[in-house]
């Protein structure tokens, strides 16, 4: 089983709509969780950390479910500029494990 699993999509989202996707992780001892955004041919950039209580940053909401070992990302009121690949990143044992990413395509 892979350390971090994501459905690569693509997720085709009408502009203005809401999209949500999950990521599962296998290491129950994982300590920290992040969502990174990667644009085509660019490096990953931190979108937001994910806290146990859930957290929100503008149109983006992240949730963590330790019991079921998944994290989620929800994007409200999608913009064309949200088109990117969203990488789920899990930290455990002082190393990062990356998912393949959820590709989001926002359609006008």
If phi > 0 it is left, if psi is from -120 to 50 it is alpha, else beta; for residue 77 that is left
CB 98 to another protein: min, Å: 4
Please classify residue 106 by burial: count the beta carbons closer than 10 Å to its beta carbon, then call 0-12 exposed, 13-18 middle and 19+ buried: buried
Nearer CB in complex with another protein: 29/40: 40
Residues 56-85 that bind another protein (CB under 8 A): none
CB atoms within 10 A of CB 16: 11
CB 18 to another protein: min, Å: 25
Contact positions toward another protein, by CB under 8 A?
A: 4, 8, 34, 41-46, 49, 87, 89, 95-96, 98-101
């Amino acid at each position: 089983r892979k350390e971090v699993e994501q459905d690569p999509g693509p997720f085709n989202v009408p502009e203005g709509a809401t999209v949500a996707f999950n990521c599962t992780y296998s290491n129950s001892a994982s300590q920290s969780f992040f969502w990174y955004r990667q644009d085509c041919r660019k490096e990953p950039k931190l979108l937001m950390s994910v806290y146990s209580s859930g957290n929100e940053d503008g149109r983006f909401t992240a949730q963590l479910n330790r019991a079921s070992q998944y994290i989620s990302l929800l994007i409200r009121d999608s913009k064309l500029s949200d088109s990117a690949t969203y990488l789920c990143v899990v930290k455990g044992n002082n190393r990062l494990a990356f998912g393949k990413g959820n590709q989001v395509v926002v359609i006008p």
